Amino acid sequence: MELMDKVEKIGQFLSICDELVAGSYITAEGKISEALREIAGCRELTNLFTAVTDGFDYPAAKRAYLRPRTGTGTAGRVGAYLPAERQDILAFVFCLFVEIDAGTMRMNDLLLRYFYVDGSYTASYSVFAGRMIKPFRDIVRECFPECGKRGQIAVQRKRREEALAQFAALLPAEQMRVMGRDLLEEERVAGEEIFSELSAATSRRDIAEIRALLAGYRYFLRYINAESRESEELFAVARSF
């Protein structure tokens, strides 16, 4: 898997985990399903969870770390814990996600049995997210430091550079197509000025100016009735900067 693809896929998985941590119990089951699909679609994540679940005894872990309690008060009804070892935390929460996704464990039942807080699903889910999902997410993030903010910024920068290079390659052909038309003198002067400024802005990698010039260029194309598939490709590339 190329680095850019890896960073993007793992970043998407971590974003879903962020949404689970900050989100609501109402959307949690759907988000857990999304997280599992991201794992299945990413070789690096699949390898990680294959490794940590190899030999992991989930039924025994459930008995050890999910213990429904009775009693009054917040503390008396929360009976969920995480294993001490980092790889076991990953395996345990992953298996819990799989069980929730399969429907053998319903989110409402999970919250009532192991994370009950004052009769509130919202408060109970907050405890579940903080106690289970947040540590799980943080460990995955630490496993892939190259996929953190710096890695994502690097990927975004590389994508922008690739888009700028593609734009620069398309620009001369677009100029030849438009300027080769039968134009009035004032139209030719305007076109030459637009292409000159676009070329200069592209060389400077001035994305803001390129976009401003393209806004005017679109109206110019409409004015001379020269919109085409080629011009739309140029605009599409610019939108990816």
Give me the percent of the chain exceeding a pLDDT of 90. Answer: 78
User: What pLDDT, on the 0 to 100 scale, is given for residue 1?
Assistant: 44
For the segment 108-157, what is each residue's pLDDT rounded down to a tens digit? 999 988 998 887 899 999 999 999 999 999 999 999 887 766 656 566 77
Distance, in Å, from the CA atom of 4 to the CA atom of 151, rounded to the nearest integer, reads 9
228 Cβ partners below 8 Å, 6+ apart? 177
Distance, in Å, from the CA atom of 71 to the CA atom of 47, rounded to the nearest integer, reads 42
Q: How far is residue 129 from each of residues 7, 22, 124, measured CA to CA in Å?
A: 24, 8, 9
Count the Cβ atoms, other than its own, within 10 Å of residue 89.
20
For the segment 166-208, what is each residue's pLDDT rounded down to a tens digit? 999 999 999 999 999 999 999 999 999 999 999 999 999 999 9
Residue 75 has pLDDT above 50, yes or no: no
* Residue that has been written with the tokens 């299945």 in this structure: 40
Residue 50 has pLDDT above 70, yes or no: yes
User: What pLDDT, on the 0 to 100 scale, is given for residue 162?
Assistant: 87
User: What pLDDT, on the 0 to 100 scale, is given for residue 74?
Assistant: 44
Tokens of 206: 């001035």
Distance, in Å, from the CA atom of 43 to the CA atom of 3, rounded to the nearest integer, reads 12
* Residue that has been written with the tokens 């975004």 in this structure: 156
Q: How far is residue 87 from each of residues 43, 48, 55, 117, 147, measured CA to CA in Å?
A: 18, 9, 12, 28, 19
Distance, in Å, from the CA atom of 189 to the CA atom of 178, rounded to the nearest integer, reads 12
Does the pTM of the predicted model rise above 0.85?
A: no
Give the closest residue to 58 by CA, choosing from 16, 86, 97, 13: 97
User: What pLDDT, on the 0 to 100 scale, is given for residue 215?
Assistant: 96
User: SS3 of 63, please?
Assistant: helix
